[in-house]
Structure 1
Amino acid sequence: MPIPETTAPASDARPILFFDSGMGGLSVLAPTARLLPQAPLVYVADSAGFPYGTRSEAEIAARVPALLGRLAERFAPRLIVIACNTASTIALQHVRAALDIPIVGTVPAIKPAALLSRTRVIGVLGTEATVRQPYVDDLAARFAGDCRVLRHGSAELVALAEASLGGVAPDPGRLAAVLDGLLGQEGGERLDVVVNACTHFPLLEAELAAAAPRALTFVDGGAGIARRIAHLTTGQVWPAVRPAGRAVFTALDARTATLAPALARYGLASVESL
């Protein structure tokens, strides 16, 4: 009796879609691209709504699910990553309720920071919207109950990270001033670990470390999110070769035009508008 022929599974070109208000989500895309070298990638920046950190919670809770609904229709992703701490802490549950595809959020890496800290004083450096969220209170209570958790929100650091991708090196004095927002608080002299609780901030980790008045350890959730994505897509079929990545902006302007070289370094060869 002849043995039936088996058919290899067809290639599945559905992308992983990364979403942020700006370019910070590249710090999540990069470790994911390394871990899943065949995965098609689409990166979406809500440049028309940037920055989220200074917007109201009501604005973000309404805007993000609506945008992601449009993006899901256009790109048919296998999975969406909200690669933005502010959007995740405010809108993640709304998006999951609205869309019937896996949604991965981004949360401050307080648990690994507490595991690393020897002084039991850690800092959470994020946007103003993120650091004031009750979700941060919950993470601190659950995973850093024996630590003093200092917080500082900085919209300026988001702008510096964006400018850096466009080729403008950040002023070390401005970075030092941002860090002083943490270190200058009561107990800040003992702080030894900083949580980069905005996906923009890991893009400036080396510069922040150099500007710090003493040695500090910086942690973020990028690698952990990449592992979560890999777990959720275990067993799925990928193209034999990763297609060129796509960068999508909700508004194209002179600022976004300066980002093309940096996007290409992340494998995002084309730039388009939503």
Structure 2
Amino acid sequence: MTMSDARVEAPVLFFDSGVGGLSILAPARALLPQMPVVYAADRAGFPYGTKTEAEIAARVPALLGRLVERYRPRIAVIACNTASTIALKAVRAALDIPVVGTVPAIKPAALSSKTRVIGVLGTEATVRQPYVDRLAAEHGSDCTILRHGSAALVALAEAKLRGQPLDPEVARTALLGLIEQPGGEKMDSVVLACTHFPLVQPELEEAAKALNIRPLAFLHGGDGIARRIAYLNSDLPWPETPAPGIAVFTGSDPDIAALKPALATYGLMQINAL
């Protein structure tokens, strides 16, 4: 294989603490069906949302460095809001390939909100970040921005992909964490600021109906990231027939076998350990 061939075969690396980044992979594969994919889940460090900023800032750049050395991707996507809001700058400084981050979709929410009350539903670590403060100030200065962190909703998404029974109370409790704040009854938009949460958007929509509240628009950044990948890769062709996607897991996880059917639906046919 020539160097040119190797570049054409180079995958796009998607990285998350768990399976939430599949919500970012899905629109990217829809837009770019020839894209070779390596999807890395840091199960040994899961969940990121309950960890300290220092832990994530130390772990993510080092782990992505190992993944880039092993798989030689053309682009790396941090398909995790928590890791992006904390470690994106450090990762970009450490790697010599383009790095795309995932940040809360506050800008499109502010552009579309009629009531000017927006909810940001993420992990505990994400919703307290100064990065979110800056997004809110820059794009939603005339809006009331409500925030709520839910580790239980992350676990719900993981359980859904494993095919386990789901407790509807988890989604209901997560929405109430926003609605019960001052001004929450006027909220018309919810930013899903954790990549796990689009995976349980149907459950959140059902919970909103059960609570008998105003219609809510749920927003996340998957489509925009897909377009960004396409733009950054505009000078390099995709292979005519890409290899089956690879899922990489750190640590040992007894639930990986249960995830195989869901991973296959995203084109991830091979499972490796790191």
Deviates more, 1:166-175 or 1:261-270: 166-175
Are 1:81 and 2:63 matched, yes or no? no
TM alignment of 1:49-128, pairs within 5 A: 49-128=45-124
Are 1:253 and 2:249 matched, yes or no? no
What is the CA distance between 1:37 and its match in structure 2?
Answer: 1.0
What is the CA distance between 1:251 and its match in structure 2?
Answer: 1.7
| Aligned position for 2:225 | 225
Residue 237 of structure 1 aligns with an amino acid whose one-letter code is P
Contact 1:81–1:103 at 8 Å: present in 2 too? yes
Paired with 1:57 and 1:111, the residues of 2 have a C-alpha distance of 24
Measured against aligned partners, the alpha-carbon deviations of 1:177-209 in whole angstroms (never above 9, x if no partner) come to 111000010000000100000000000011100
Are 1:267 and 2:267 matched, yes or no? yes
Paired with 2:243 and 2:272, the residues of 1 have a C-alpha distance of 16
Contact 1:38–1:241 at 8 Å: present in 2 too? yes
| Aligned position for 1:4 | none
TM alignment of 1:156-171, pairs within 5 A: 156-171=152-167
Question: How many residues are paired up?
Answer: 266
In structure 1, the gaps of 5 or more residues are 1-8
Contact 1:96–1:103 at 8 Å: present in 2 too? yes
| Aligned position for 2:148 | 152
Contact 1:247–1:268 at 8 Å: present in 2 too? yes
What is the CA distance between 1:31 and its match in structure 2?
Answer: 0.5
What is the CA distance between 1:268 and its match in structure 2?
Answer: 0.2
Paired with 2:171 and 2:115, the residues of 1 have a C-alpha distance of 23
Deviates more, 1:196-205 or 1:208-217: 208-217
SS of the counterpart of 1:180?
Answer: helix
Paired with 1:95 and 1:271, the residues of 2 have a C-alpha distance of 25
Paired with 2:66 and 2:235, the residues of 1 have a C-alpha distance of 27
Between Structure 1 and Structure 2, whose CA radius of gyration is higher? 1
Measured against aligned partners, the alpha-carbon deviations of 1:82-105 in whole angstroms (never above 9, x if no partner) come to 000000000011111111110000
TM-score (normalised: structure 2): 0.95
SS of the counterpart of 1:48?
Answer: helix
What is the CA distance between 1:174 and its match in structure 2?
Answer: 2.0
Residue 255 of structure 1 aligns with an amino acid whose one-letter code is D
Paired with 1:173 and 1:103, the residues of 2 have a C-alpha distance of 37
In structure 2, the gaps of 5 or more residues are none
Residue 264 of structure 1 aligns with an amino acid whose one-letter code is A
Paired with 1:260 and 1:10, the residues of 2 have a C-alpha distance of 30
What is the CA distance between 1:10 and its match in structure 2?
Answer: 4.4
Are 1:39 and 2:35 matched, yes or no? yes
Residue 109 of structure 1 aligns with an amino acid whose one-letter code is A
Are 1:25 and 2:21 matched, yes or no? yes
Are 1:137 and 2:168 matched, yes or no? no
TM-score (normalised: structure 1): 0.95
Measured against aligned partners, the alpha-carbon deviations of 1:117-146 in whole angstroms (never above 9, x if no partner) come to 110000000000000000101000110111
Measured against aligned partners, the alpha-carbon deviations of 1:23-54 in whole angstroms (never above 9, x if no partner) come to 00000001001111111000000000000000
Paired with 1:102 and 1:169, the residues of 2 have a C-alpha distance of 39
Paired with 1:134 and 1:179, the residues of 2 have a C-alpha distance of 23
SS of the counterpart of 2:120?
Answer: strand
Are 1:241 and 2:274 matched, yes or no? no
Question: Which one of the candidate residues 169, 175, 200 is aligned to 1:173?
Answer: 169
Paired with 2:97 and 2:235, the residues of 1 have a C-alpha distance of 16
Paired with 2:113 and 2:104, the residues of 1 have a C-alpha distance of 15
Paired with 1:231 and 1:180, the residues of 2 have a C-alpha distance of 38
